[in-house]
Structure 1
Amino acid sequence: MTYPWNGAAKLADATDFVRAAEAIGCDVAEIRAVWEKEAAGKPFRADASLERRFEPHKTTPPLMTYSASKILRKAERERLFAKYYAENPEDAMRATSWGAPKIMGFNYAKAGYPSAAQMVVSFAQSEGNQIGAFVKLILAWGLDSALRAHDWRSFARVYNGNANVESYAADLERIYRRISGAASPQVLKSGDKGAAVRRLQEALGATVDGSFGPDTEHALREFQRDNGLVVDGKAGQKTWEALARQVDVKPPAQPTQSDLIATVTAQAGAGAAALGTVSASLRELPETATTLLVGGAVLAGLLALAAWLYRRARV
């Protein structure tokens, strides 16, 4: 039997990625970072069939809950897919992610196809077709701005869902650094606060108060317009590069996974040290009822903090 996910399995070449980057208005390294994150850059399986993952909680009606689907072993997932495909092929393909960019079948229209089946057939023919569909989906979802800005968090929320946004974003940054040899600047937008915002305001010649409000956004949009950039009110990769060409400014870099782990580990160490200091101090105090009550409350709070930091470090 011939299945739609078996095709020519032609791999992409450099020009496919260049055309995709030109269509989105970003760099090739940004496309490749997503490509590697989503499927380790592998659009096809070892048997040359199209890379795929059946999600039985996405069928109509759902075959099971998300929690049950998440823990399925690969062999069982494949068995369920084969069984359901025999009964309802189009819905089975809609409930499956396909190719290197892991595009769900139900997104066929935004990816430029009249049906999930035709999308699968096209993807099975070439990785270049997968790249083309990825570009259409990115533009349809309005994620082109996020890619250009290296706003990995915003990209993760839409493309991968709300789960593990920080981890996904940090992993994209790690891959991007390896591919490009450069770190991405921290992305700033309306509502942000802190030292990075002050640095941006100084570079723009705006009021420096550390709060990204309407005045800062207006100044940023004017700068983007004057410098031929996409006017989106977001200080990302292209905007920071343009600022650096005019003034001496160096934005803080986005964190990778190792940066996040190092930060949480340091916080956990500081919390443990503080807990030890407070515990030692409490031992020196007289054991009055009031002291015990206050000391117990402080210890409970610090223990809760230490437990939270430990869980973050484990994640």
Structure 2
Amino acid sequence: MIDLGDFRGAAKRLEDIDLPRIGAEIGVGEDEIHAVIDVETGNGRGFDSAGRPKMLFEPHIFYRELSGAERKEAVRQGLAYSKWGAQPYPKDSYPRLRAAMTINARAALRSASWGLGQVMGFNHALAGYDSPEAMVRAFMADEDAHLAAMVDFIRSAGLDDELRRHDWSGFARGYNGAGYAKNRYHLKLASAFARWQGIRDTPWDPDQSANDNAAIEASTVALGRGAAGAQVRALQDDLATLGFYTGRIDGDFGPSTEAAVRDFQRAAGITTDGWAGDETMAALEAALAKVPSAGEGAAALTTLLERIRDDVEEALIIAKAA
């Protein structure tokens, strides 16, 4: 079952430095990145006024994703049709998306474009994600994920050369589709790029950025709603070992993982915010060190939680000194 709640996460905005930093991965500057974002979003923002990832549900794609009884039902409800433009887009696509998800959740997510780069859900693999729902969860958390996915898609689709050459027609054809000229997509890109060239760029030093990244990697990165990957799987496994998490070890930081983190934080007597940062990780490490072996019996685990609170302060001091 796919559970994305109300599609609201941390909704962290981009920092200015993110544009030149991520753009450099495909050899472009922030002006080219700004141009694509502006044309795709209209206002340069990856979240809507409700704090959800900016999204456009495409009924003609949903039609293509379905077959048989599911397609028939989607057509009956006005959620799918065979050709683009059969009906105007509503002001808010989320009600249609939610209705479509009751028919086929994954197909619905694949049939929408998401975030700053309006990456289609069916392009999740080209954007670096195992599934459309994993991509959406990451997008709920941070616009940095939007931008990284957009750049990964551009590279995977072989459009980075066009963007570096400022071949707006070639880029538009690959990114927006064969009807790009009718939508004046290439002209909008060229206009946006010209406008941003007249605006001072954010100072950015690749060498300094490498040093900063090394420092960040040396510290614990807080995990929260929308995060995904090996670190989340390890967190879920640790929480399960301590008896706080009973869900699937799937690497997706969703509502059940957040609830488990909060329960552990309350038991440990530390800040209860649902985020797994330095304080929480230190407390987990202290708790896991005292997990009894199978021969010692489960009864020892009950008293373990009572001792966590006393060990947190000492564990944090050790972690900071390391």
Calculate the TM-score normalised by the size of structure 1. Answer: 0.54
Who is 2:151 aligned against? 135
Q: Alpha-carbon deviation of 1:154? A: 0.3
3-state SS in 2 of match to 1:110 = coil
* 2:39 counterpart of 1:47: no
- The question of whether the paired residues in 2 share the 8 Å contact of 1:56 and 1:69 is answered with no
**Amino acid paired to 1:171:** K
User: In 2 relative to 1, CA 172–27 (structure 1 residues): closer, same or farther, beyond 3 Å?
Assistant: same
* 2:188 counterpart of 1:171: yes
Who is 2:121 aligned against? 105
- 1:140-155 counterparts in 2 under 5 A? 140-155=156-171
User: In 2 relative to 1, CA 70–54 (structure 1 residues): closer, same or farther, beyond 3 Å?
Assistant: same
**Amino acid paired to 1:58:** I
Who is 2:34 aligned against? 32
Q: Deviation per CA, 1:33-71, whole angstroms, max 9, x where unpaired?
A: 111110021100111111101111112226212245452
CA separation in 2, counterparts of 1:89 and 1:180? 41
* 2:21 counterpart of 1:19: yes
Seq. identity, %: 33
Q: Alpha-carbon deviation of 1:84? A: 1.2
Who is 1:311 aligned against? none
Q: Alpha-carbon deviation of 1:25? A: 0.4
How many correspondences in the alignment?
181
CA separation in 1, counterparts of 2:60 and 2:121? 13
- The question of whether the paired residues in 1 share the 8 Å contact of 2:12 and 2:143 is answered with yes
3-state SS in 2 of match to 1:97 = strand
Q: Deviation per CA, 1:61-117, whole angstroms, max 9, x where unpaired?
A: 262122454524335x54332211123211110101000110000000010001000
- 1:1-315 counterparts in 2 under 5 A? 3=5, 5-40=7-42, 41-59=44-62, 60-61=65-66, 63-74=80-91, 77-165=93-181, 167-181=184-198
- The question of whether the paired residues in 1 share the 8 Å contact of 2:58 and 2:112 is answered with yes
- The question of whether the paired residues in 1 share the 8 Å contact of 2:19 and 2:29 is answered with no
- The question of whether the paired residues in 1 share the 8 Å contact of 2:4 and 2:137 is answered with no
Instruction: Compute the RMSD of aligned alpha carbons.
Output: 2.0
- Structure with the larger RCO, 1 or 2 (CA within 8 Å, 6+ apart): 2
Structure showing the higher helix proportion among its residues: 1
3-state SS in 1 of match to 2:11 = coil
